Amino acid sequence: MKQFADLFNAIDQSTRTTVKVSALTDYFQSAPKEDRIWTIAIFSGRRPKRAVTTTRLREWGAEVAGIPLWLFEEAYPIVGDLAETIALVLPPAATHTDLGLSHWINALRGISQAEEEDRKAFVLDAWASLDPTQRFLFNKLLTGGFRIGVSQKLMTRALARATGREEPEMAHRLMGDWDPASTTWEQLILEDDPAAAASRPYPFYLAYALEGEPENLGAPTDWQAEWKWDGIRGQVILRGGEHFVWSRGEELMTDRFPELARIRDFLPDGTVLDGELLAWGDGVPQNFNALQKRIGRKTVPKALLRDAPVILYAYDLLEWGGVDYRQVPLAERRATLEKLCETLPTDAPVKLSPTVAFDHWDALAEIRATARDAQAEGLMLKRRDSPYLTGRKKGDWWKWKLDPLTIDAVMIYAQSGHGRRANLFTDFTFAVWNGNDLVPFTKAYSGLTDEEFRKITAWVKKNTQQRFGPVRQVTPEHVFEIAFEGIQASPRHKSGVALRFPRMSRWRHDKPIQEANSLDDLNQMLEIYG
């Protein structure tokens, strides 16, 4: 695993894209092919099944390190990563081996059904023979979940360089649910394979947030406006007599949304649609809450299917008549999409997401202000003559979201962060006034600069009133503006409300705590926006 460890170190040590891409390119040219496949799989989130529970790993790690379990459990949140905590507490390796990445993965797959005693012996042997980085990586394979700063974009760039092919082709080949255990380097990267190609989605085109005023984009006639929906971005594929539903996170969700199967009755093979998966009711999109009940469910109870049926609100056509349609200008793609949606019955699980007509940017700004009434989170602006690009690219698609809702709140609890933010206080609980009491209503973790996190960390250390495990109650002294995207009634929370995407938008040094908002203010927002 040394070669993989070297690759990992090269990527992990650097923040520079060029360094990462060149390390990956070298690796994809020189590593054993079966290791290359597993590397692609791991870096794109296709991890082997977890062979050992994390509970056992903690126990075995503490045992081998000769420390009590409670001490291990105290160290873990400070380090912020289980695999790393174990790698650090273990005594130095007694022997050294250099077996390849795929050897270790196959060995792990082999023991997943073994007796616990045998699994333990295997893990302890591995720990005793691996150097610290390899041990960390081995633990990562055990626990799943590699997050190491390699984006899909960097990996496809490196693969394109290593093979002399085009980046979009590589991006397309990596999509879909291929299985690293049964896929070869040749199959995945080099050969044409019609069967695998059938289910394969196109890489999504992702928009950047609009910077500044839309006037800077030029003439309104060059642009198409649509509502920006608050659902799940999805791609629906009809090929080979089957249909496939993909999320933007490259998750195959066909079985989660059985109501979409009827699409096959209305649309021909060789069609690929891009759109938003939304819960639909009373002839309009429902808010995200209705959809949330469906997320994470592998099977869907009938009642949910009836109460919150899901549709694809289609806004783009990526393949038509079996032909890749992405280079066709948006205006033409849209015209074809509209025509094919005209033929759909009103109860079909695909509907056309309407465009928003406007003559002037000022008029559009007024329309945008009403987005919440339309159950939308803002507008999308798309250049009419643009092709459908791959990944996040600036220029042709912009999201122009509503300004978030905000409320001024008092910080009352602080907890230190994990991983990259270990030893800084980054996780805070905020409260609003209810009479003379401060009622906690949300947590927030992001939005401050590193410098501000350092300042608040120093302050928390000096102003801790009480500790509850890792949580510190601090003197109510600082007011923060909390920005959020939505508000819902929630009986599970003391305050009775739950916020969507809360974050700290501003540190209100100018405000004394008496001027923070109240629970009444929150309830008013709930009435208006909930």
Residue 267 or residue 456: which is nearer to other proteins going by CB? 456
Residue 67 or residue 111: which is nearer to other proteins going by CB? 67
Residues 456-485 touching other proteins, rule: CB under 8 A, are 467
Out of 145, 268, 322, 419, name the contact with other proteins by CB under 8 A.
Answer: 419
Residues 44-83 touching other proteins, rule: CB under 8 A, are 65, 67-68, 70-72, 74-75, 78-81
The full length of the chain comes to: 530
Least distance from other proteins to the Cβ atom of residue 84, Å: 6
CA-nearest of 330, 293, 323, 298 to 309 is 293
Least distance from other proteins to the Cβ atom of residue 423, Å: 6
Give the list of residues 6+ apart from residue 524 with CB closer than 8 angstroms, or none: none
Residues 216-245 touching other proteins, rule: CB under 8 A, are none
Q: Helix (H, G, I), strand (E, B), or coil: what is residue 21?
A: helix
Least distance from other proteins to the Cβ atom of residue 96, Å: 15
Is residue 421 a contact point for other proteins (CB under 8 A)? yes
| CB neighbour class for 268 (10 Å; exposed up to 12, middle 13-18, buried from 19) | exposed
Buried b (16+ CB within 10 A) or exposed e, 154-186: bbbbbbbbbbeeebbebbbbbbbebebeebebe
Least distance from other proteins to the Cβ atom of residue 422, Å: 5
| CB neighbour class for 423 (10 Å; exposed up to 12, middle 13-18, buried from 19) | exposed
Which element (helix H / strand E) includes 340? helix 330-342
The token pair at 166 is 């085009």
Residue 15 or residue 299: which is nearer to other proteins going by CB? 15
The answer to whether 296 and 256 have CB atoms below 8 angstroms apart is no
Residue 70 or residue 436: which is nearer to other proteins going by CB? 70
CA-nearest of 62, 409, 384 to 226 is 384
CA-nearest of 12, 87, 79, 140 to 418 is 79
Residue 6 or residue 84: which is nearer to other proteins going by CB? 84
Residue 349's Cβ-side half-sphere holds a number of Cα atoms within 13 Å equal to: 21
Residues 146-205 touching other proteins, rule: CB under 8 A, are 149
CA-nearest of 252, 235, 240 to 198 is 240
Out of 56, 264, 418, 511, name the contact with other proteins by CB under 8 A.
Answer: 418
Out of 39, 44, 85, 286, name the contact with other proteins by CB under 8 A.
Answer: 85
Residue 137 or residue 272: which is nearer to other proteins going by CB? 137
CA 22, chain centre distance (Å):
26
Question: Taking the alpha carbons of 149, 151, 154, 160 in that order, is the dihedral positive or negative?
Answer: positive
Least distance from other proteins to the Cβ atom of residue 253, Å: 32
Residue 44 or residue 426: which is nearer to other proteins going by CB? 426
Residue 423 or residue 446: which is nearer to other proteins going by CB? 423
DSSP letter, residue 252 = B
Instruction: Kindly calculate the radius of gyration of the chain based on its CA atoms and give it in whole angstroms.
Output: 26
Least distance from other proteins to the Cβ atom of residue 467, Å: 8
> What is the spatial distance between Cα 38 and Cα 185, in angstroms, rounded to a whole number?
10
Residue 268 or residue 470: which is nearer to other proteins going by CB? 470
The string of DSSP codes covering 416-433 is E--GGGTTSEEEEEEEEE
CA 472, chain centre distance (Å):
29
Least distance from other proteins to the Cβ atom of residue 159, Å: 24
Mark 112-141 with x for binding to other proteins (rule: CB under 8 A) and - for no binding. Answer: ------------------------x-----
Out of 84, 259, 452, 521, name the contact with other proteins by CB under 8 A.
Answer: 84
Least distance from other proteins to the Cβ atom of residue 366, Å: 43
Least distance from other proteins to the Cβ atom of residue 125, Å: 21
> What is the spatial distance between Cα 284 and Cα 352, in angstroms, rounded to a whole number?
12
Mark 2-41 with x for binding to other proteins (rule: CB under 8 A) and - for no binding. Answer: ----------xxxxx-------------------------
Least distance from other proteins to the Cβ atom of residue 285, Å: 40
Q: Helix (H, G, I), strand (E, B), or coil: what is residue 505?
A: strand
Least distance from other proteins to the Cβ atom of residue 459, Å: 14
Least distance from other proteins to the Cβ atom of residue 67, Å: 5
> What is the spatial distance between Cα 338 and Cα 331, in angstroms, rounded to a whole number?
11
Residue 68 or residue 281: which is nearer to other proteins going by CB? 68
Mark 356-395 with x for binding to other proteins (rule: CB under 8 A) and - for no binding. Answer: ----------------------------------------
Out of 215, 450, 477, 527, name the contact with other proteins by CB under 8 A.
Answer: 450
Residue 318 or residue 456: which is nearer to other proteins going by CB? 456
Reported in sequence order, the residue ranges of 37-84 that DSSP labels E, i.e. its strands, are none
Total residues contacting other proteins (rule CB under 8 A)?
Answer: 32
Out of 207, 422, 471, 526, name the contact with other proteins by CB under 8 A.
Answer: 422
> What is the spatial distance between Cα 461 and Cα 81, in angstroms, rounded to a whole number?
23
Tokens 């460890």 found at: 5
Judged by CB under 8 A, the stretch of 39-47, 189-197, 403-411, 416-424 that binds other proteins is 416-424
Least distance from other proteins to the Cβ atom of residue 81, Å: 7
- From residue 520, alpha-carbon distances to 477, 497, 527 in Å are 21, 11, 11
- Chain residues in the site for other proteins (CB under 8 A): 12-16, 65, 67-68, 70-72, 74-75, 78-81, 84-85, 88-89, 136, 149, 418-423, 450, 454, 467
